[in-house]
A and B are shown apart, each in its own frame.
Chain A
C-alpha cells in the first residue's frame, strides 16, 4: 500500500513536470509544424538561469526571470533563424533546432563546467508537507505539481476562452485564411514559439531546484519529451497532459517492480521454460524501465500515429 501511494504521488508529480516541458513543444508543432529539437535544451537553459539568479538576487526572481529570458531567446531564434530557413522546408527547420541544441549545451558547459551545479530551493521550502507511512513527503514536489496545474489551467483558458486563443487555434488549421483576415501571422508564430520556450524555461527553473541541474539534464529529458508529445498526439494540449501523467506513473511504478516476461508465462504454465531460456524473458521490468517509453512511442506511431488525442496524421 505504501509503495502504491508513494508511487502514484511521485508519478503524478513527475508527469506534471513532463507536461510543463512538452506543452510548449506540442503547441509549437501543432502551430508551425516545427518539431523543436532544442526544446529540452530550453528547459535546461531555464534551470541555469534560475541557478544564476538564485545565487545573485534570489530564488523567486529566478523563477520570474527564467521564462522571460528563455522566451526572449525563443523570439530571437524564431525571428532570425527559423524564419530564414522556413523556405527550405520542415526538415531544415528541424535540423536547425538540432544544431541549436548542440550550441546551447556547449555554451552551458563553457560557462558552468561539465559537472552539475548546486541549484537548491530556499531553506524555508525544505519541509515535509505530510507524513505517509513514516515517509516524509517533501513540500517542494507538491509545489512543482501546483505550478504545472496552474500553468495548464491558464493555457487552457487562454486558448479556449480568449480572442488570442481563437486566433492561435485558427492559425493552426487555416493559416492563410487567418492572414487574409488581417492578422499578423509571423508575429503569431513568433509569440507561440516564444511562449513555448518560456514554458520550458519556467519548468527548468522550478524543477532544476529539486532535481540535479547539470549539462546532461536536457539529453535525459529530451527524448522522453518527444515520447510524451507523440503519444499524446502532436499538437494536442490535453493529449500531452494525459500522456505525461501516463508516462510519469509508468516510470515511477516500473522502477519498483520486479516483474519479468517469465512471470507472464507462469500464468499460462510456461514459467519454468521461460526461465530456462533466459535472455529477454528474465529481464526484470525495473532494469528495462528506461526502454518502455520508447516501446510505447513506437507502438503509438505504428498503430495510431495521430496519438491519443491528435486529429491528423
Chain B
C-alpha cells in the first residue's frame, strides 16, 4: 500500500495535467470548479477534521478572499499597481489569514456548538452588512474585472486558468498535508481529542487554535481567490449560509476524519451538482438525501470507508466481500430508481405546464412525458412498479447488512491470520 502511493499520485498528476487536452471547454470549467471546491473542503477540514472546530461560517473567508483578489485585479487593470496574475491568490490568502486571525481569536474562545454559533454569527453579520457596504462589496451586483495577461501567458482561455488553478490547488494541498506532519499539526489532533489535557501539559491552546483556524481560513481565501480569477466577478451572495452549508455537506460526505476524503467529497458533489442541476430541479433534494444517508449509514464518509478497507484488509480477503457488496449495489440501484422515478413524476404532474395541459383536456389526468417516455398517471402500474422497487430494495437491506457483517468477519479473520 505505502509503496504504491507515490505511483498512484504520479498517475493522478499526469491525468490532471493531460485533462484539458481531452475535455470540452464546458468540462474544463467543471474541472476548475471541482478543484476549487476540493481546496475549500480541504482547508475547512483542517479546522474541522484536524482540530475539531465545526465552523458554520467558512463562506465568509471564501468570499473575502474572492473580493480581495478582485480588488487587486481591478487595481492592476487600472494600472495602479503591478502584480502578475498567477500570484493573485496571494491577496486571497492574505485576506483569509488576517480575517481568520481576528475572527478566529474571537471564535476559538468557545468550543463545540458555541464555536459553531460564533462563526455562524460572524458570517451572517458580514452577509447582512455586505450589500449595504457598496464601496467594498459593490452592492447587490457585486464587482467584476478582467484577467490581465502576464508572464507572457494568455489568461483569456479556460485552459490557462485550469493550469493556474491546478498549480495553486496542488501546492496548497501539499502545504496542508505537510502541516499535518508538523508538531503543530499533531497538536491540532491532540486539541480535538482532549483540549483540557493539552492545556494541562502547558500548551497555549487558545493561541494554537487561533493559528490553526487562521491557516484554515488562509487556504479558504486562496480557494475564494481562484474562484474570483475563474469567474472574473463575484457578489455578496457568496457570503450566504448556502456556501458554508455546501462545504460542510461535502466535507462530511467525503469523510472529515481522513485527509483526502473532503477533497474527494467536494469534487464528487460539485460534479454531481453540475450534472444533476441541468437534468432536474430536485437536485438539492437528492443532495440532501445523499448527505442524510451518509450520516446515518456511513458516518465516516466515503474517505473513511476507503481507508478502513485499505488499512484493515489484505487484497486477497476482499473476495469474502464481493457478494455482500454486489447485493448493496442492487439495493442501492433499486431504491434510487424507484425514488427518482416517483420524485420526478410528482414534479412533472404538479408542474404548471402539466396543469395547463390538464385544463386543455377538461381536467383529466393526461399522460405525462418523463425521460423520453410517456406515462399514464391513472394507470396503477405507473405507481406500483416504482413502489415495488422501493419495497424490494428495503426488504433486501437487512439481508445485505447481515451478509456484510458475516463477510467482514471472515475477511478480518483471514487478514489477521
Asked, given contacts A223-B124, A280-B133, A294-B125, whether A99 binds B249 with beta carbons under 8 Å apart, the answer is yes
- For residue A90, CB closer than 8 A to chain B, the reply is yes
Interface flags for A257-285 (1: CB within 8 Å of B; 0: not) read: 00000000000000000000001100100
B112–A99 touching, CB < 8 Å: no
On whether A111 and B346 interact (CB within 8 A), knowing A95-B295, A288-B128, the answer reads yes
Instruction: Name which of B110, B121, B285 has the most chain A CB atoms within 10 A of its CB.
Output: B121
Q: Are B122 and A298 in contact (CB under 8 A)?
A: yes
Q: Is A154 an interface residue (CB 8 A)?
A: no
Partner of B125 from the list A84, A98, A298 (CB cut-off 8 Å) is: A298
CB B126 to nearest CB in A, in angstroms, measures: 9
* Structural contact, B117 and A102, CB atoms closer than 8 A: no
Minimum CB distance partner of A302 in chain B: B106
A91, chain B: closest CB distance, angstroms = 6
Mark interface residues in A63-93 (1 if CB within 8 Å of B CB, else 0).
0000000000000000001001100101110
Bound-state Cα–Cα, A104 to B249, Å: 16
User: Which of B54, B121, B295, B350 meets A298, CB within 8 Å?
Assistant: B121
Whether the pair B117, A91 counts as a contact (CB closer than 8 A) is: no
Tell me the minimal C-beta distance from A303 to chain B in angstroms.
10
Instruction: List, in ascending order, chain B residues with CB within 8 A of A107's CB.
Output: 285
Q: Are A85 and B118 in contact (CB under 8 A)?
A: no
Instruction: Tell yes or no: B135 within 8 A of A by CB.
Output: yes
Contact B295 A294 (CB under 8 A): no
Tell me whether A110 is interfacial, beta carbon within 8 Å: yes
Query: Considering the complex, which residues of chain B in the window 342-384 have a beta carbon less than 8 Å from any beta carbon of chain A?
Result: 343, 346-347, 350, 352
Residue contact B113 to A35, C-beta cutoff 8 Å: yes
Nearest chain B CB to A231 CB, angstrom units = 11
Chain B residues whose CB sits within 8 angstroms of the CB of A294 once the complex forms? 121-122, 124-125, 128
Query: B52-74 vs A: 1/0 string, CB under 8 Å?
Result: 00100000000000000000000
Q: Is the CB of A106 within 8 A of B125?
A: no
Interface residue count on the A side (C-beta < 8 Å): 44
**1/0 per position for A276-313, CB-CB distance to B under 8 A?**
00011001000110110011011001100100000001
Query: B233-260 CB contact bits vs A (8 Å, 1 = yes)?
Result: 0000000010001001100100000000
Report whether B54 and A102 are in contact in the complex, using a CB–CB cutoff of 8 Å. Answer: no
Interface residue? A255 (CB, 8 A): no
A113 CB-CB contact with B under 8 Å: yes
Q: Are B347 and A110 in contact (CB under 8 A)?
A: yes
Option from A99, A223, A290 in Cβ contact (under 8 Å) with B288: A99
Given contacts A110-B347, A302-B109, contact A223 B125 (CB under 8 A): no
CA distance A35 to B287 in the complex (A): 22
Residues of A within 8 A of B132 (CB): 283, 287-288
> Measured between C-beta atoms, what is the minimum distance from B140 to chain A in Å?
13
- A96 CB contacts on chain B under 8 angstroms: 292, 295-296
B contact residues around A109 at 8 Å (CB): 282
Q: Which residues of A contact B249 (CB under 8 A)?
A: 98-99, 102
Instruction: Choose one: B122, B124, B135, B285; the contact of A279 (CB below 8 Å).
Output: B135
Residues of A within 8 A of B114 (CB): 301, 305, 313
Minimum distance in angstroms from A64 CB to a CB of chain B:
26
Quick check: B343 and A85 within 8 Å, CB to CB?
no
Q: Are A94 and B113 in contact (CB under 8 A)?
A: yes
Contact assessment for B350 and A113 in the assembled complex, using a CB-CB cutoff below 8 Å: yes
Find chain B residues with CB under 8 A from A227 CB: 121
Q: When A85-B295, A288-B128, A301-B117 are in contact, do A103 and B285 touch as well, CB less than 8 Å?
A: yes
29 A-B pairs with CB atoms under 8 Å apart are: A35-B113, A35-B116, A81-B296, A84-B296, A85-B295, A91-B54, A91-B112, A96-B295, A96-B296, A98-B248, A98-B249, A99-B249, A99-B288, A102-B287, A102-B288, A103-B292, A109-B282, A110-B343, A113-B350, A223-B241, A227-B121, A294-B121, A294-B128, A297-B117, A298-B118, A298-B125, A301-B110, A301-B118, A305-B114
With contacts A100-B292, A298-B106 known, what are 20 further pairs, Cβ within 8 A? A35-B116, A85-B299, A88-B299, A90-B113, A92-B299, A95-B295, A96-B296, A99-B288, A99-B295, A102-B245, A102-B284, A102-B287, A103-B288, A106-B284, A113-B352, A283-B133, A291-B124, A294-B125, A298-B118, A298-B125
